[in-house]
Chains A and B, each alone.
Chain A
Amino acid sequence: MIPFILCFILFLIGIYGIITQKNLIKIIIGLAIMEYSVNLFLILIGYINGGTAPIITHYTSANASFVDPLPQALILTAIVIGLATTALLLALAIRLYRKYGTFDIRKINSLKG
């Protein structure tokens, strides 16, 4: 149970970063921390006590138990999607930097009023 709670704390750190930071890059880092905590959480759900990596080699005994391969495959997908969203966010941040010359969200306020 403790690994799950640690994952959850990592998630909360990410959320705290997103709502308190003023720098766009730091906000994106917070988002990435949240994302990886969720990935870690889902991987941990598939863990079985005493299970080995789901790869069959010459040394795998016939009655060996594997950890769940399904969450691992799903997280592989999720990591790539996370990479894609982070890259898009960074492109947006670069676009904003070109327009305003700053990453500070308090100064990016032309849409206001």
Chain B
Amino acid sequence: MIKRFFSLIFVVLLALVFLPLVTEIKPLSELGMTSAKYAEDGAAELGAANLVTSVVVTYRGLDTLGEVTVLFITTAGIGFMLRRKTILPEKKRRASEILKSGTSFLLPLIILFGVYIFVHGHLTPGGGFQGGVVIASAIVLLMLSDINMHPDHNILNWLESLSGAFYVIMGILGLILAGGFLDNRFLPLGEFGKIFSAGAIPVIYSLIGLKVGAELVGILNKLGREDK
């Protein structure tokens, strides 16, 4: 009890220390210089309707590459930590009929929705990461409905490595053929607002989507294995 009391006092003190940071904040009335540049010139320069996508994939593309690398390291780290050969439990409750029928009906729709999200990342809200997560959720549904189903490690690893490699190749192509690393303008920009527009952005986002999907399925597959 006394411990809880001290924790509460600690939290209150922390609140007092940081309170000025919160109360003296002024709401933004106009964009900062960098944001204004991205908001005004971004669409004309890169041809992407979604300005957040143009920042994520092109202007700050190197950060996204780093982020994808962090995800890769996480997968490797989880594989390292849970590397012990685990025996799958024998007695596991079978999935119910509702889950099985629902899965067979919903699975293609969920995967299609995921692909739609990452292919349209430059036009609508969404993108590679979100689409990848949606696809991974479809695979999780499959794993729940069929207890003996386990995604093939080799296929996942190849998918992940190939999409990662092609992502870097896209960046280097931008460096050679256009303005700089991960510049999307080495492919034609196309008509604004159409799906085949914005140069390499849909291609890069699709690669990110595949990579994130494969990585998440790998992580969940490793976390889901129990030992006796």
User: Is the pairing of A and B real?
Assistant: yes
Q: Which of B70-89 contact A (CB under 8 A)?
A: 70-71, 73-74, 77-78, 81-82, 84
Interface-lining segment among B32-40, B96-104, B140-148, B180-188: B32-40
Instruction: Across the interface, name the chain A residue whose C-beta is closest to B220.
Output: A87
Per the CB 8 Å criterion, the residue count for chain B at the interface is: 55
A1 to B129 alpha-carbon distance, docked (Å)? 31
A95 to B51 alpha-carbon distance, docked (Å)? 42
Q: Which of A62-90 contact B (CB under 8 A)?
A: 65-66, 68-70, 72-74, 76-77, 79-81, 83-85, 87-88, 90
Q: Is there an interface contact between B49 and A19, defined as CB atoms closer than 8 Å?
A: no
Residue A20 at the chain B interface, CB threshold 8 Å: yes
Contact with B along A30-68 (1 / 0, CB 8 A): 000000000000000111110001111110000001101
Known: A76-B129, A77-B64, A94-B223. A58 touches B193 (CB 8 A): yes
| Other-chain contact of B52, A15, A69, A87 (Cβ < 8 Å) | A69
Q: Is there an interface contact between A76 and B52, defined as CB atoms closer than 8 Å?
A: yes
Contact with A along B1-26 (1 / 0, CB 8 A): 00110011011001100110011010
Q: Is there an interface contact between B52 and A73, defined as CB atoms closer than 8 Å?
A: yes
| Other-chain contact of B35, A53, A68, A95 (Cβ < 8 Å) | A68
Q: Is there an interface contact between B11 and A49, defined as CB atoms closer than 8 Å?
A: no
Q: Which residues of B contact A (CB under 8 A)?
A: 3-4, 7-8, 10-11, 14-15, 18-19, 22-23, 25, 27-32, 34-35, 38-39, 42-43, 49-52, 55-56, 60, 63-64, 67, 70-71, 73-74, 77-78, 81-82, 84, 123-125, 127, 129, 193, 212, 219, 222-223, 227
Q: Is there an interface contact between A53 and B125, defined as CB atoms closer than 8 Å?
A: yes
Q: Is there an interface contact between B25 and A69, defined as CB atoms closer than 8 Å?
A: no
| Other-chain contact of A47, B27, B39, B52, B125 (Cβ < 8 Å) | B27
Classify chain A: how many residues form its interface, as a range. Answer: 35 or more
Q: Is there an interface contact between B31 and A68, defined as CB atoms closer than 8 Å?
A: yes
A92 to B10 alpha-carbon distance, docked (Å)? 27
* Residues in chain B near residue A79, CB distance under 8 A: 129
* Residues in chain B near residue A98, CB distance under 8 A: 84, 227
